[in-house]
Amino acid sequence: MKRIVTALVNNQSGVLNRVTGLMSKRRFNIESISVGRTETDDISRMTFVVDVEDEAQCEQLIKQLHKQIDVLKVWDITDQAIVARELVLIKVLSNPQIRTEINGIVDPFRASIIDVSRDSLTVQVTGDSEKVDALIELLRPYGIKELARTGLTAFPRGQQRQVTEMKPYSLIK
């Protein structure tokens, strides 16, 4: 099962290494990781999409992450109301004849064509993973030359408490 886990970490050299090392040491399957600064200096957010066997394995992952001294907070946000987005660049084979056709596919996804050359064009799309996957599938028949995904980044929606106010994962509460 896929789970979305997000963590606030000290923005220090080596933290990504600690976290990915931990995941491979304990044989957790990572589908994607995205890392970037947050509104607070010195703190970064990491968002993982992981493929785990069951809830117990996900719980173990979260506890292991939590144990890292540079990991300040961790949440499994899969079942919460969240905004989750990734950005994908897709280079599709094309020629002037089918450009408009591709435009027609891309438009409803609110994706944009950001580069055009003689025999290809590049589509940029942001969205949740289903939307992105759907677009990729529609474009696949034209021939995908290159594909780059940033991985998902996410946090809970605004009506909820701020992430930083939320209770971190804990067994004792």
Partner 1 sequence: MQAKAKYEQTVASQTGADVLMQTLIDEGVDLVFGYPGGAVLPIYDALYKTDLRHILPRHEQGAIHAAEGYARISGKPGVVIGTSGPGATNLITGIADAMMDSLPLVVFTGQVARGVIGTDAFQEADVTGITTPITKHNYQIQELKDIPRVVKEAFHIATTGRPGPVVVDIPKDISGEIGEVDYPETIHLPGYQPNYMPNLLQVRKLAEAMREAKRPVILAGAGIIHSGAHKALLELVERQGIPVVHTLLGLGGFPAEHELFLGMAGMHGTYAANMALYEADLLINIGARFDDRLTGDLQHFAKKAVVAHIDIDPAEIGKNVQTHIPIVADAKFTIEALLDEVTTPPEINEWVFRLKQDRIEKPLWYRKQPKVMAPQYLIEKLHQETNGEAIVVTDVGQHQMWAAQYYPFSKPKKWVTSGGLGTMGFGFPAAIGAQLAAPDDTVIAVVGDGGFQMTLQELSVLQELRLPVKIVIVNNQSLGMVRQWQTSFYGGRHSQSLIPVQPDFVKLAETYDIRGYRVETEEELQEVLSATLHDREPVLIDCRVNAEEMVTPMVAPGTGIHEMIGVKP
Residues making contact with partner 1 (CB under 8 A): 9-10, 14, 17-18, 21-22, 25, 56, 59-60, 63-64, 66-72, 170-173
Nearest approach, Cβ of residue 160 and partner 1 (Å)? 22
Nearest residue (CB) to partner 1, 17 versus 117: 17
Nearest residue (CB) to partner 1, 32 versus 60: 60
Tokens, residue 28: 């957790």
CA distance 25 to 13: 20
Nearest residue (CB) to partner 1, 71 versus 102: 71
Tokens, residue 79: 């079942």
Nearest approach, Cβ of residue 52 and partner 1 (Å)? 14
CA distance 168 to 120: 46
